[in-house]
């Protein structure tokens, strides 16, 4: 396994620092990637608390309002595989900048929108920018940091910031909507995006010649994007209507057919496949992505159901609901920062099992919730346990999925992992909404949802047993023995 780290993709190796200590340039690149990922994740949830204000300001009807959220999520999930491969073919720096500019420009136009259709369209364009940008943020890290203690530390910080973005969306959306205007939930991305563009131009190294000579697998891109988009649409319709609804069945059928055709085309006909078969044959890739799919299926819906509970049962407003998520955010960040330390003691596979079981305990505790539980007695304790498990879990999964991957496939691996996580969240939410609506009492509905989430966490622990028993990340050598001018070792397979 490679132990020496490059300063940036294609750049000189910086190996003279103590193990796990980042250089100033590595730190700057890390926070650039984290800032971009924070924007992407934040915009999944930041609009939720502003929907009533948006409806009043632009005259949305109920059917149209759901697409302010849905258009972003649909396009984001649908284009992630393509976005990841673009970075491999056309260069990480170039694609990172494309994503930033597209996302920021859509945020500006959307924030100034005066018609419902324009806002929905710009949310879709935001989703496209996010689908290009999100895999690139992870690719920047995996090509900047070779496998070892520094990569694990960088991925832990990236995971913590990503988790914070998801949890902070409700709080930031509530603050901006209450103090300024709903428009600022989009406009706030513009100065952040502009600063990130300037930093990327300065920090990211120029792209070298890409594998595949920049050839894009057009049929594969069309089939994968159509398949994932249709699948997400069908599952969303199941959550809104039923699994037997014609639109649900049409979406699921089209998605399954397109993805089946995609797999066949990639294996037999594609000269430069969007998802190289050599990649998915690696056990850490397929087992790690199934694990991530299951993890997304219980953690992402958690924000939805806890938000409903705080607003519908406890009677909290938008801002109070956001504040109520602070313990989840803080504990999740702290746990993610501790994940590298835990991995050094247990290894990635054991930590995935233990953290999934810890999260399962939190969900089981949460399943005792009732209409009269309150925040302090019913939410806070389980929140600490669930968030600790979630924070510890994502870093070792991400580390496992990105280990042993050729640099030429780093973008594809990142895009696949992001896709499985989003798909898990969409499928999990639809399934849990169906489960909740099958129960008439409020208490029983919430209890069944959290009990089912605990069962999924148990499945995560079982699936982790299929992962290779990788050892904890080894520290990089220090001093002259680090061979600072020698390229990083070829990843082991």
Per-residue pLDDT tens digits for 421-438: 878 887 887 788 878 877
Instruction: Return the sign of the alpha-carbon dihedral for residues 228, 30, 282, 89.
Output: positive
Alpha carbon distance 294, 455 (integer Å): 10
Q: How far apart are CA 347 and CA 351, in angstroms?
A: 6
Please say if the pLDDT value at position 13 is more than 60. Answer: no
Range 63-70, long-range pairs (CB < 8 A, 24+ positions): 64/116, 64/120, 66/240, 67/120, 67/123, 68/119, 68/120, 68/123, 69/123, 70/236
492 pLDDT higher than 80:
no
Report the alpha-carbon distance of residue 205 to residue 93 in Å, rounded.
7
CA distance 42 to 213: 34
Distance CA 17, CA 28 (A): 16
Mean pLDDT of 248-271: 83
| Per-residue pLDDT at 479 | 42
pLDDT tens profile 146-174: 777 788 888 888 878 877 777 677 788 87
**What's the token pair of residue 392?**
């510890």
Using the predicted structure, report yes or no on whether residue 109 has a pLDDT greater than 90: yes
Q: What is the mean pLDDT of residues 57-80?
A: 79
pLDDT bracket for residue 359 (50, 70, 90): very high
Least confident piece of the model among 93-102, 222-231, 465-474: 465-474
Same fold, 24-206 and 275-471: yes
pLDDT for 446 beyond 60: yes
Query: Does the domain spanning 24-206 belong to CATH 3.20.20.70?
Result: no
pLDDT at 15 over 80: no
How much is the average pLDDT of 25-37? 88
Q: Cα–Cα distance between 251 and 230 in angstroms, integer?
A: 5
Average pLDDT value for residue range 333-339: 86
Q: What is the mean pLDDT of residues 215-226?
A: 78
- On the question of pLDDT at 388 being above 50, the answer is yes
Question: Which residues 6+ apart lie within 8 Å of 256 measured at CB?
Answer: 227, 231
Report how far residue 80's alpha carbon sits from residue 86's, in angstroms, rounded to the nearest whole number. Answer: 10
- Domain boundary assignment for the chain: 24-206, 217-273, 275-471
Q: Which residues contact 433 (CB under 8 A, 6 or more apart)?
A: 239
pLDDT score at 491: 38
Name the band, by pLDDT with cuts 50, 70 and 90, for residue 478. very low
What top-level class would CATH report for the domain 275-471?
Answer: mainly alpha
């Amino acid at each position: 396994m490679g132990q020496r780290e490059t300063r940036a993709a294609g750049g000189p190796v910086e190996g003279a620092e103590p193990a796990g200590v980042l250089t100033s340039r590595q730190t700057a690149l890390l926070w650039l990637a984290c800032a971009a990922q924070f924007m992407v994740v934040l915009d999944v949830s930041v609009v939720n608390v502003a929907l009533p204000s948006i409806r009043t300001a632009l005259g949305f009807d109920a059917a149209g309002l759901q697409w302010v959220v849905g258009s972003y999520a649909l396009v984001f999930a649908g284009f992630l595989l393509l976005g990841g491969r673009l970075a491999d073919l056309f260069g990480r720096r170039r694609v990172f900048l494309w994503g930033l500019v597209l996302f920021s420009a859509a945020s500006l136009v959307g924030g100034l929108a005066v018609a419902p259709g324009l806002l929905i369209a710009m949310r879709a364009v935001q989703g496209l920018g996010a689908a290009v940008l999100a895999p690139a943020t992870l690719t920047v890290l995996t090509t900047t940091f070779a496998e070892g203690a520094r990569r694990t530390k960088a991925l832990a910080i990236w995971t913590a910031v990503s988790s914070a973005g998801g949890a902070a969306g409700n709080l930031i959306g509530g603050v901006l909507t209450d103090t300024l205007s709903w428009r600022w939930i989009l406009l706030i991305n513009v100065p952040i995006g502009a600063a990130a563009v300037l930093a990327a131009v300065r920090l990211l190294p120029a792209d070298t010649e890409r594998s595949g000579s920049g050839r894009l697998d057009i049929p594969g891109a069309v089939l994968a994007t159509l398949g994932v988009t249709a699948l997400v649409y069908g599952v969303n319709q199941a959550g809104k209507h039923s699994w037997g609804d014609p639109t649900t069945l049409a979406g699921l059928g089209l998605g399954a057919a397109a993805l089946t055709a995609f797999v066949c085309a990639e294996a037999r006909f594609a000269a430069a496949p969007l998802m190289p078969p050599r990649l998915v044959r690696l056990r850490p890739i397929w087992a790690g992505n199934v694990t991530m799919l299951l993890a997304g299926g219980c953690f992402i819906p958690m924000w939805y159901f806890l938000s409903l509970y705080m607003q519908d049962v406890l009677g909290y407003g938008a801002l109070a609901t956001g504040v109520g998520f602070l313990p989840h955010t803080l504990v999740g960040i702290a746990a993610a920062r501790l994940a590298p330390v835990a991995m050094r003691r247990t290894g990635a596979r054991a930590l995935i099992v233990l953290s999934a079981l810890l999260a399962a305990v939190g969900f089981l505790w949460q399943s005792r919730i009732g209409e009269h539980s309150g925040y302090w007695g019913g939410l806070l304790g389980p929140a600490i346990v669930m968030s600790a498990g979630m924070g510890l879990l994502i870093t070792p999964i991400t580390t496992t999925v990105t280990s042993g991957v050729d640099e030429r496939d780093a973008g594809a691996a990142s895009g696949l992992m992001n896709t499985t996580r989003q798909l898990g969240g969409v499928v999990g939410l639809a399934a849990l909404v169906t489960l909740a609506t099958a129960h008439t009492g409020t208490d029983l509905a919430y209890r069944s949802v959290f009990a089912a989430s605990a069962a999924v966490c148990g499945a995560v622990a079982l699936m982790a047993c299929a992962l290779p028993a990788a050892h904890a990340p080894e520290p990089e050598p220090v001093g002259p023995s680090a061979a600072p001018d020698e390229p990083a070792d070829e990843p082991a397979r």
